[in-house]
Amino acid sequence: PEGTKKFATRPDSILENYRTIQNLLLSNVGIGTYLGNPDSQTDTLVEEAVRKSILSGINVIDTAINYRAQKAERSVGKAIASLISAGKIERNQIFVSTKNGYVTNDGDIKEDFWAYVQREYANSGVIRANDISSGYHCMTVPYLQDQLNRSLKNLGLECIDLMYLHNSVEGQPDISR
């Protein structure tokens, strides 16, 4: 709580632009990283947008492991790391949320989507064929744990403030309980 308070009460901040939620002082507006091509040009644009947003007073950042095939999370992580290393922010001043549950590939690995899923998840025992819904969801504990670990690595963080199950209802009709 002290970190977000320190962020929101900086000399150039406008306190009315923040709300207290669960003892955290969070900006009314956040930045999301949903769309864009999985390429290095978009990586740079997303990284710069996140960096500028934080420097402008936004301390709520939202992403997802499947956005741009993991590259959105990596861009967010680079932006955060650069601001921390430059002494502009501390980790506890920002709130980072991400999502998992969609089956995703890796935009930095040039491989067919299903070949990647087979090699990375099925061959390692993280998922079984019947675990994936027609909506490309997988909500098994082993898969969600795998995705959490990948998100932590992608973001370069030890802790994610909020992890959503991404559109989980979409995957329910054709998955047995």
Domains of the chain: 2-100+144-171 (3.20.20.100)
Asked if residue 11 lies in contact with residue 21, where contact means CB atoms within 8 angstroms, the answer is no
pLDDT at 167: 82
- State the Cα torsion 156-32-85-21 to the nearest 10°: -90
pLDDT at 173: 60
Mean pLDDT by 10 residues, the chain (177 residues): 95 94 97 96 98 98 98 99 98 98 96 96 93 88 97 98 87 59
Rounded CA separation 119/33 (Å): 27
The encoded tokens of residue 113 equal: 């989507």
pLDDT at 66: 97
Measured in degrees and rounded to the nearest 5, phi and psi for residue 60 equal -115, 120
pLDDT at 174: 61
Rounded CA separation 63/72 (Å): 7
3-state SS, residue 64 = coil
**How many other CB atoms are found less than 10 A from the CB of residue 155?**
24
> pLDDT (tens digit, 9 = 90+) per residue, 133-148?
877 899 999 999 999 9
3-state SS, residue 131 = helix
Question: pTM to 2 decimals?
Answer: 0.93
pLDDT at 168: 76
pLDDT at 133: 87
State the amino acid at position 120 in one-letter form: E
